[in-house]
Amino acid sequence: MAAPRFTKFDHKPRVIVTRRLPQAVETRMAELFDVTLNLDDHPMTREELLAAVAEAEVLAPTVTDTIDAGLIAAAGPQLKLIANFGVGVDHIDLAAARARGITVTNTPGVLTDDTADLVMALILAVPRRIAEGERIIRDGSWTGWSPTGMLGHRITGKRLGIVGMGRIGQAVAARARAFGLSIHYHNRNRLPKAVEGPLEATWWPTLDAMLARVDIVSLNCPETPETHHIIDARRLKLMQRHAFLINVARGTLIDEAALVAALEAGHIAGAGLDVFEHEPAIHPGLLGRPDVVLLPHMGSATFEARQEMGEKVITNIRVFADGHRPPDQVLEDY
């Protein structure tokens, strides 16, 4: 008889957590698991990660850990589960994990609303020059109201093009409808009428065609080999000169050097970025530009989301250790 896919642990799982998590999550983990926490929260070095996968039965990493094929190959046979704290798993080599029989889980759903809120904040901030306005107050250069001061662009009535219409893309669409934007989206598959209908959403099978027609583009797809640099120099040229680009998904979806060149050349009007190609490094060409709003990867940074993400990590580990399929198992073609 073939070995069961999931096997019950007869002891507390040996869990290594790579970064600090909310206090209540760490306390509960310490009660439930044989856990090692990262109390000073430094991003783990390669050597530390190698030591962790040599020892852990469960690794609980975050986006700041590169879990590539080399690291997975170095894991001991005891490593059975990678319970990621976060929904994006592009920092984990899923094929290598699967080949070693290591299950991978993530934390979908609980950060959807907060991330969509941050998209909306950038959709407002960039055309309405909110960060720029805040800066002129603080640097003392504001001389008072004037009829032509701080003019930006109206968002009501504009076309929003969402790239990737999963949970977060749909939550962005619902918010944007309330602000009077019309919803356009590009997705591998067209959504059912029951989803499209209330959003009055238009599906564009071709990304290039959508980019040429919308006023604001929001990237809400995962980073995969197919979506890497999905916005490159050629596609930036397809966008309208008055259009804005918003990205809270992954920095590597955009060729950042090409974005800087497009902004300099006036191919697009501005950008709102919460994620960067070489995080935490920022392309120097972005830093001095008034037409970009730059945020430090804070899409899911609410107390509520981070707590619920931690609870999902715990649930995934518990269900797995109990010998069952964890609720948020990531399949290779997620």
Q: What positions carry a catalytic annotation?
A: 250, 279, 297
- CB nearer to ligand 8YV: give 88 or 127: 88
Residues 266-305 touching ligand 8YV, rule: CB under 6 A, are 299-300
Instruction: Give the SS3 label for residue 258.
Output: helix
Torsion over CA: 162, 165, 168, 170 (sign): positive
Number of amino acids touching ligand 8YV (CB under 6 A): 9
Instruction: Tokens for 95, please give them.
Output: 């094929």
Q: To the nearest whole angstrom, how small is the minimum distance from the Cβ of residue 193 to ligand 8YV?
A: 29
Interface with ligand 8YV (CB under 6 A), residue from 15, 21, 59, 62: 62
Q: Which letter, b or e, does each residue of 11-39 get, where b requires 16 or more Cβ atoms within 10 Å of its Cβ? A: eebbbbbbbebbeebbebbeeebebbbbe
Identify whether 77 is preceded by a cis peptide bond (ω within 30 of 0). no
Interface with ligand 8YV (CB under 6 A), residue from 29, 35, 49, 63: 63
Q: To the nearest whole angstrom, how small is the minimum distance from the Cβ of residue 158 to ligand 8YV?
A: 26
Type of residue numbered 291:
D
- CB nearer to ligand 8YV: give 13 or 299: 299
88 is an interface residue for ligand 8YV by CB under 6 A? yes
What is the helix (H) or strand (E) element at residue 16, kind and residue range? strand 14-17
Residues 66-85 touching ligand 8YV, rule: CB under 6 A, are 85
Q: How far apart are CA 327 and CA 317, in angstroms?
A: 10
Instruction: Give the SS3 label for residue 137.
Output: helix
Angle at which helices 112-125 and 130-138 pack, to 10 degrees? 70
- CB nearer to ligand 8YV: give 272 or 299: 299
- CB nearer to ligand 8YV: give 85 or 276: 85
Interface with ligand 8YV (CB under 6 A), residue from 59, 81, 87, 273: 87
Q: To the nearest whole angstrom, how small is the minimum distance from the Cβ of residue 167 to ligand 8YV?
A: 11
169 is an interface residue for ligand 8YV by CB under 6 A? no
**Nearest-CB residue to ligand 8YV?**
86
111 is an interface residue for ligand 8YV by CB under 6 A? yes
Q: To the nearest whole angstrom, how small is the minimum distance from the Cβ of residue 19 to ligand 8YV?
A: 8
- CB nearer to ligand 8YV: give 63 or 75: 63
330 is an interface residue for ligand 8YV by CB under 6 A? no
Q: How far apart are CA 294 and CA 311, in angstroms?
A: 30
- CB nearer to ligand 8YV: give 18 or 158: 18
Q: To the nearest whole angstrom, how small is the minimum distance from the Cβ of residue 309 to ligand 8YV?
A: 7
Q: To the nearest whole angstrom, how small is the minimum distance from the Cβ of residue 88 to ligand 8YV?
A: 3
- What are the residue ranges of helices labelled H in the chain? 23-32, 46-55, 69-73, 94-99, 112-125, 130-138, 167-178, 193-199, 207-211, 233-238, 256-265, 284-287, 303-321
Q: How far apart are CA 176 and CA 127, in angstroms?
A: 14
Q: Which residue has the tokens 């590539």?
A: 68
User: Residues in the site for ligand 8YV, rule: CB under 6 A?
Assistant: 62-63, 85-88, 111, 299-300
